[in-house]
Amino acid sequence: MTDENSRETSGQEPFDEAEYRRRQRSRANLMAWMLGALAILFFFITIAKMQIFA
């Protein structure tokens, strides 16, 4: 009995590597965009505070 067959008979779904990579990629992309947006936001917060306290 192959490994895949044994999983199916034990009620577990077979591992979908394409789905794994797709989720990994979409989360990595999202994280990159969010970190970029935060860097920009923190830069502008600093500038705004400098203007207020100048």
Partner 1 sequence: MAQSLTHGETALPADWRDLFALTKPRVMSLVVFTALCGLLAAPGAVHPVLAFSSILAIALGAGASGALNQWYEAGLDAKMKRTAGRPLPAGRLDRQTALQFGVGLAAFSLFLMLFASNWQATLLLLVSILFYVFVYTMWLKPRTPQNIVIGGAAGAFPPLIGWVAATGSVAPLPVLLFLLIFLWTPPHFWALALFVRSDYAAAGIPMMPVVAGEKSTRRQILFYAVIMAIGAIAPWPLGYTGALYGWTAVLLSAVFVLLSIRVGTRTTGDGDRMQPEKRLFAYSIAYLFILFGAVVADHWWPL
| Of the candidate residues 2, 5, 52, 53, the single one contacting partner 1 (CB under 8 A) | 52
Q: Is residue 19 at the binding interface for partner 1, with CB under 8 A as the rule? A: yes
Residues 6+ apart with CB under 8 A from 13: 7
Give the separation between CA 54 and CA 22, rounded to whole angstroms. 48
| Of the candidate residues 1, 2, 9, 13, the single one contacting partner 1 (CB under 8 A) | 13
Residues 6+ apart with CB under 8 A from 14: 4, 7, 8
Per CB under 8 A, residues contacting partner 1 are: 7, 12-16, 19-20, 23-24, 26-27, 30, 41-42, 44-45, 47-49, 51-52
